[in-house]
Amino acid sequence: MKEKVVLAYSGGLDTTTIIPWLKENFGYDVVCCCVDVGQGNELDGLEQRAKLSGASKLYIENVIDEFCDDFVMPCVQAGAVYEHKYLLGTSMARPVIAKKLVEIARKEGAVAICHGATGKGNDQIRFELSITALAPDLKIIAPWRMTDIWTLQSREDEIQYCKAHGIDLPFDMSQSYSRDRNLWHISHEGLELEDPSLEPNYNHLLMLTVPPEKAPDEPEYVTMTFEKGIPTSVNGKKMKVSAIIEELNALGGKHGIGIVDIVENRVVGMKSHGIYETPGGTILVEAYQQLEELVMDRATMEVKKDLGNKLAQVVYEGKWFTPLREAIQAFVSSTAQDMTGTVKFRLYKGNIIKAGTTSPNSLYSESLASFTTGDLYDHHDADGFINLFGLPLKVRAMNKMRAKEKESSK
């Protein structure tokens, strides 16, 4: 009986080519696994394509709700944003995909897992660290790094390889953007984006959103509710998290929300230029932060900001299945327990404009914040506070004065 390998399968040219390549070079029985994190119509026709390419079986595993509930929301609650802009769309999806690949490998009794990530990108790290953390006994095959036996250098090479192995599928020979899509976002790389001095061709590349200048001339009000850090409704309609993200994608895309142009630092050491479309995610993160502003105390917010930045780095580097991620998430989950309330805002030509926030856990007191003197705040108390708060500055200044006087008396 042949040994089995589980291939992370997207249905694209790369992973389709890998099927006959694995059989030819390793003699494996190839089991394909496509993990659905919200790719939409990219999944159409996958079963026929995998079978025609020589796979013995194809799994299509829907993990959209798990992705949103267990991977996206912890990052939203943490305010995890990589290098001030990137909302971690691809980074969050890779560990849940790897988790499912390991489950299928165990079910099939496979000895290895294969992925089609390139040797220059972040995904190879994210897949392999996750697989190693969950199944250290499984072999990992990365064809693009095996240059002694993976000799294909272009799309044309791959198409010819497939045809030589009896696989004649209608792959497009033309060059296009390299994209990654899930329910949270779409990323774009390649073509003019490889030169950061050029303006992106938004009219050509955008798929979820419209450019802000093409958004409606009238703003649209949106109201969201949260319960213990979890979004529960949009405009009065109760929905699960994945449905809320889908609804916010439609609203945000309509109004040109969530287009990010970034030159980021990859884990492998190089910089890369890409465009991210995250309309619903941008709205969700902003709405959560608006609620947080009202509810969270200053000291907790300061620590959470630092931990949010650390979590962004941890997730970006593929270290989801680590004690550090678990510890940060435990802190963030604790802070989320008070995040209950209603957030209202306007969407207008790429902007999210506040329109009122309420919470039963609000720390905002109108009587304290107003210029009138309330019962809880005595203005005279500020005298002693300022004296103590500024004591180190005063001592330092006095020391400098003494030193200056001593110097001038010589």
Token digits of residue 142: 């990365």
Instruction: Specify the pLDDT at position 155.
Output: 87
Cβ pair 305, 328 in contact under 8 A: no
Instruction: For residues 130 and 20, state if they share a domain.
Output: yes
Instruction: Specify the pLDDT at position 409.
Output: 82
Q: Count Cβ atoms within 10 A of the Cβ of residue 403 and give its class: 0-12 exposed, 13-18 middle, 19 or more buried.
A: exposed
Asked, for residue 319, whether it belongs to a domain, the answer is no
The catalytic site residues sit at 14, 94, 123, 178
- Looking at the structure of the chain, the number of domains it has is 3
Instruction: For residues 119 and 215, state if they share a domain.
Output: no
Asked, for residue 305, whether it belongs to a domain, the answer is no
Instruction: For residues 191 and 230, state if they share a domain.
Output: yes
Residue 173: pLDDT band by 50, 70, 90 thresholds? low
Quote the CA–CA distance of 327 and 312 in Å, as a whole number. Answer: 14
Instruction: For residues 57 and 103, state if they share a domain.
Output: yes
Asked, for residue 232, whether it belongs to a domain, the answer is yes
Global confidence as pTM: 0.93
Instruction: For residues 57 and 155, state if they share a domain.
Output: yes
Instruction: For residues 216 and 344, state if they share a domain.
Output: yes
Asked, for residue 254, whether it belongs to a domain, the answer is yes
pLDDT digits (tens, 9 = 90+) for 60-115: 999 999 999 999 999 999 999 999 999 999 999 999 999 999 999 999 999 999 99
Q: Domain range spanning residue 124?
A: 4-164
Instruction: Specify the pLDDT at position 372.
Output: 61
Instruction: For residues 59 and 93, state if they share a domain.
Output: yes
Instruction: For residues 268 and 383, state if they share a domain.
Output: no
Asked, for residue 46, whether it belongs to a domain, the answer is yes
Token digits of residue 168: 């004649």
Cβ pair 301, 292 in contact under 8 A: yes
Asked, for residue 309, whether it belongs to a domain, the answer is no
Query: The domain that contains 113 carries what CATH number?
Result: 3.40.50.620
Instruction: For residues 194 and 99, state if they share a domain.
Output: no
Q: Classify residue 282 as left (phi > 0), alpha (psi -120 to 50) or beta.
A: alpha
In this model, does residue 43 exceed pLDDT 70? yes
Asked, for residue 244, whether it belongs to a domain, the answer is yes
Asked, for residue 316, whether it belongs to a domain, the answer is no
pLDDT digits (tens, 9 = 90+) for 309-321: 999 999 999 999 9
